[in-house]
Amino acid sequence: MRRYRFLTLLLVLGAGLCAAAQSTSPVLQAMQTELDRSMQKLKTQPVPPYFLSYEIVDTHTYAVTGAFGKLTRSGENHHRQLDIEMRVGDYAMDNTHEIRGGPGSFTGFSSTMVPIDNDTDAIRAVLWYHTDERYKRAVEQLTRVKTNSQVEVAPEDKSDDFSHEQPQQFSEPQHDVKVDLKAWEDKIRKYTAPFAKYSNIYGAQAVFEAGSETRWFVNSDGSRIQTSQPTWRLFLIASTKADDGMELPRYESWLGFSEKDLPNDAAVLKAVDKMISDLEALRAAPVADPYTGPAILSGRASGVFFHEIFGHRVEGHRQKLANEAQTFKKMIGQEVLPKDFSVYFDPTVGRMAGTALAGYYLYDNQGVKARRVDVVDDGVLKTFLMARTPIEGIPQSNGHGRAQAGFAPVARQSNLIVQVAQSSVKPDLKKLLIEEVKKQGLPYGLYFADISGGFTFTGRTVPNAFNVMPLVVYRIYPDGREELVRGVDLIGTPLTTFSKIVAADNHVEVFNGICGAESGGVPVSAVSPAILISQIEVQKKQKSQERPPILPAPFAQK
């Protein structure tokens, strides 16, 4: 099966419940009461469940969207989504066990909408009906699992299907986010108006969102959790088209946990001016040719690079699934990065380099407490990111069981942070790049200044490659001259590319994004300094064959 993971700029973040904090949530009360009743009743069945969890996610978002100085949307949205995880069998083998040699298995997980009113009877009615439905499906799936295990070869990884974890008790107040929609409508008009002066800018949009996402979680282990996270987001996107049909986008985005974290009007309008000048320059820039040679990746580009080629390959469940390539499965204790490079994931860090981190959370979607995980120390692989799916040698979760509402949690990235020892920190990567260009006898090197995201393949049936999608790329010539180019993607395979990392600078940058994989889209961050790689490969970017518009824009002023 073709498996891929992708990372994009963070366009939408969840928002939550506008209500005063309560000492005992009626939502949690309803969930706990119905979970206890369901487990008690279902224990009398021939195949009783051994685990049940409920998670309700309340999302109450205020949003304003505009384009070319006018509003396209303004308002709020409020909904609640229930996720149920039902497991029958036992910890060693249950209904979520992989069915090898056949279609993907039912995970015992499901999602549905619940009332936004705090009516315990109404909430319990939804819980009751869908719990019953999930139980019946889980029992059917367990039969398929047992049959499959008898006819297929023994699995390489014989670890249990589910881990034993300590129950957690935690509650924080529900956040009330106050938004002046009228003020933000005026701001969005102001931010997008400058784009309307340019007839060759075909798309120009600003998106503002604010709110707070509240999560209630209970399980049959005894966990009972309430978290509430406010989020403020401003996102700008504009695009043009070159004469040869190539689409050329530019993005800017800001993330915060309060309105004060967002920039003032002057800073946003300065960014708008820079986007416009970049688009004008990109239209005139030459198309880059396929290339193999040295390159510098900015901190943001480097963060996406590590997220794609490394982060997905250390997600624990990928070391267990039969159709995954398992790049690093047998490499714990071995050097996988240059010895001066370390990588850790820490969802408990809310801010770094003066920027809020999208991958911040206190408890994962399986009720496990978030924690720092040192995956690589001085180049040596130490462990993997773990959900409650054990693998050989790592029987417990480390708080990285994550999912978008409506998906079953698996091991996913949080805040990826790259650390570099002082011996590999160099003050002038450009100088080193030029030296490497001359050493290799090449006409130029490359500098990847900004990035939009990327994707990677981690399965066995397709090449284990990655693709990072740059927005702004420069050729750097031996005399130090820089030339803007367009139309390239950074590609390669992980083990080869890691061996070519040479040095880093001491200025870290943050990329906040939404990472999409089998458990849906989850917010993540990548924090890294700029790095120098002695050899990378780029290919030409796919482009449209459509010509730019024939008719002039009605608002054209140039």
Which of 224, 251, 284 lies at the terminal end of a domain, its last residue? Answer: 284
Q: Is 67 exposed, middle or buried (0-12, 13-18, 19+ CB in 10 A)?
A: buried
Cα three-residue angle 484-489-491, rounded to 5 degrees:
135
Residue 4 pLDDT: 44
Cα 133 off chain centre by = 31
- Cα radius of gyration (the chain): 25
Are residues 160 and 92 in contact, defined by beta-carbon separation less than 8 angstroms? yes
DSSP labels, 72-138: EEEEEEEEEEEEEEEEEB-SSSBTTS--TTSSPPP-SEEEEEE-SS--HHHHHHHHHHHHHHHHHHH
501 assigned to some structural domain: yes
Residue 20 pLDDT: 35
Collect the ranges in the chain with pLDDT lower than 50: 1-4, 11-22, 104-106, 108, 557-558
| Structural domain boundaries, residue 405 | 291-540
313 assigned to some structural domain: yes
Residue 322 pLDDT: 61
What letter represents residue 276's amino acid?
I
pTM of the full structure: 0.90
Q: Which CATH number goes with the domain that contains 61?
A: 3.30.2290.10
| Domain tally, the chain | 2
Residue 101 pLDDT: 65
Which of 231, 263, 284 lies at the terminal end of a domain, its last residue? Answer: 284
**Same domain for 39 and 147:** yes
**Same domain for 387 and 418:** yes
**Same domain for 431 and 326:** yes
Residue 195 pLDDT: 96
DSSP labels, 18-84: -S---SS-HHHHHHHHHHHHHHHHHTTSSS-EEEEEEEEEEEEEEEEEEETTEEEEEEEEEEEEEEE
Residue 14 pLDDT: 32
* pLDDT digits 0-9 by tens, 490-517: 877 667 788 899 999 999 999 999 998 8
Residue 226 pLDDT: 97
Residue 197 pLDDT: 92
Which of 256, 284, 312 lies at the terminal end of a domain, its last residue? Answer: 284
553 assigned to some structural domain: no
Residue 331 pLDDT: 87
Are residues 174 and 205 in contact, defined by beta-carbon separation less than 8 angstroms? no
Residue 9 pLDDT: 61
**Tokens representing 374?**
């040192």
* pLDDT digits 0-9 by tens, 446-492: 999 988 766 665 555 555 566 677 889 999 999 999 999 998 888 77
